[in-house]
Structure 1
Amino acid sequence: MKELNSNIGQTLRSYLRVLKLTKKPSREEFLTIAKVAGLGILAIGFVGFIIYVLLVELPRMV
């Protein structure tokens, strides 16, 4: 039990250390991250749409 408490305490200390190192992103950093994430979502959606068309709609046309 004592070992478990020690492990939990050590884990919490490492989490707190990481949180202390973080900082709030500037507006420019946030917008850049949002644009990249948005483009990634659109790219994955486009790939999914192409796969759908190839596997479902194209056989119906033939």
Structure 2
Amino acid sequence: MEVPYELSAYTRVLKLASTPGWGEFSQVSLIAGAGILLIGLMGFIIFLIMSVLPGA
């Protein structure tokens, strides 16, 4: 894979990129937060199962 070192290649990408609006940012933040909470909840449930099973 060849990495372009020309400045024009980078400026073209920066021209295509745009700053997200508040609505898009908040939607992405909510989805990411829900994913983090879901993964944490799954880890906590696995922790509870693993701490209860050895004592049974």
Q: Bin the TM-score by the shorter chain.
A: 0.7 to 0.9
2:33: which partner in 1? 38
User: Which of residues 30, 50, 58 in structure 1 aligns to 2:52?
Assistant: 58
Residue 19 of structure 1 pairs with residue 47 of structure 2: no
Distance 1:47 1:13 in 2: 46
Q: Quick check: which has more Rg, 1 or 2?
A: 1
Provide the TM-score with structure 1 as the length reference: 0.69
Residues 59, 28 of structure 1: CA spacing in aligned structure 2 closer, same or farther, 3 A cutoff?
Answer: same
Q: Helix, strand or coil for the counterpart of 2:5?
A: helix
| Deviation (angstroms), 1:59 | 2.8
Structure 2: where are the runs of 5+ without partners? none
Identity %: 39
More helix, by proportion = 1
